[in-house]
A = this chain, B = another copy of it.
Amino acid sequence: MEPAGGGRDGAVESMVGIKDVARQAGVSVGTVSNVINRPDLVSEETRTRVQSVISKLGYIRSESARQLRAGASRIVALLVLDMGNPFFVDVAKGAERAARQSRLGVMVCNSAQSTSEEVEYLSLFAEQRVRGVLITPADPTGQSLEALRRQRIPYVLVDRVSADAAACSVSVDDVAGGRLAAHHLIAAGHASLVYVGGPRDLPQVRDRRAGALAALEEAGLPAGALTEITADRLDVAAGRDAGARLLGLAPRPTAVFCANDLLALGVLQAVFAARISVPEQMAIVGYDDIEFAAAAAVPLTSVRQPAVAMGKLAAEMLLEETSGDADAHEHRQVVLQPELVVRGSSLTPR
């Protein structure tokens, strides 16, 4: 295209490397590297001269080369279950924030709850020699984690507790969250409630239910006071289905606790379509406190998870693990506490 260096600056030919800088500045490549990485080893004069050449040529150092020597890259991977769920978007925000403070990038990927996609991504991460992985595993057997361990890739579990303490983890106390929600409904005068759950193999779903049962027991109510509806996924459409089933129950329930906000929004929609007023005739509580919970036609009471904090903390723990000696590191299991946010969907009628 362009004849021969006709352009304004020298950027016509491929990429300017450290050697070009060294030549222009009349120093060795080692010195240029020192200017960049250990400026205190270089004399004031040389340093400024090299710096100016760097900016004149628009030199950008190659991460590939740097990481080839260093052994690990400056990228942290985040593998979540569902990018469509605002909860995980918040986790990603937190992780990104923490990573950027160390000038690291975050590669956010979506396993969409599929074990095979998870495996595929993990192998991509291994090839990239990522600094570490933040993961909410989709694979219930734990083989994915086993693979990470074998390949000596540091990882931190997000929204999961590490069963065998073989890694760090950051999670939220789902039993406590379930208890908060159920306790709130019971205190409002409801003597029985419905739990709209999801796939049985999700720890979250089980724990939140366990918390609700605990709250019933504390209130002296029988376990039979909890009716259960099982959705097959944790999204809005599944919530609508669950809502329909809910309305078929007799006597009609007055209080519903959903395993997540997407389900709750679906339920709310079904209930609203049936012209049943919320919260007067039916109280609804969700879980996660996503932005859309507050934005629903009837703002949704929900159990807030510190999602951003969780992502941030997870990333920080990963950085901590990968910066010091690997041997000196002790795995930690951090469990954060959820918080009830009361809104219109569950206010006591009077």
Show the binding face of A for B, using Cβ within 8 Å: 1, 9, 11, 14-15, 58, 60-65, 67-68, 71, 73, 75, 83-84, 86, 89, 92-93, 96, 100, 103, 105-110, 120-121, 123-124, 126-129, 150-152, 235-236, 239-240, 265-266, 268-269, 272, 291-292, 294-299, 327
A5 CB, min distance to chain B CBs, angstroms: 15
Q: Inside 8 A of A151's CB, which chain B residues have their CB?
A: 11, 58, 60
* B272:A61 contact, CB within 8 angstroms: no
Q: A109-B106, A265-B295 are in contact. Are A68 and B58 (CB under 8 A)?
A: no
Minimal beta-carbon separation of A92 from chain B (angstroms): 7
Contacts of A296 in B (CB 8 A): 269, 296-297
A126 & B64 in contact (Cβ 8 Å cutoff) = no
Smallest distance from the beta carbon of A289 to chain B beta carbons, Å? 13
CB of B297 within 8 A of CB of A127, answer no
Interface centre among A1, A75, A83, A110 (most CB of B within 10 A): A83
Is B58 a contact partner of A127 (Cβ separation < 8 A)? Answer: no
Query: B110 touching A93 by the CB < 8 A rule?
Result: yes
| Complex contacts, A272 vs chain B, CB 8 Å | 297-298
In the bound complex, residues from chain B placing their C-beta under 8 Å from that of A299 are: 269
Question: With contacts A295-B266, A297-B269, A297-B272 known, is A127 near B86, CB below 8 A?
Answer: no
A307 to B9, CA, bound (A): 39
CB neighbours (8 Å) of A127 from chain B are 60-63
CA–CA, A202 to B288, complex, Å?
A: 31
Complex contact B107–A120 (CB within 8 A): no
A92 to B78, CA, bound (A): 14
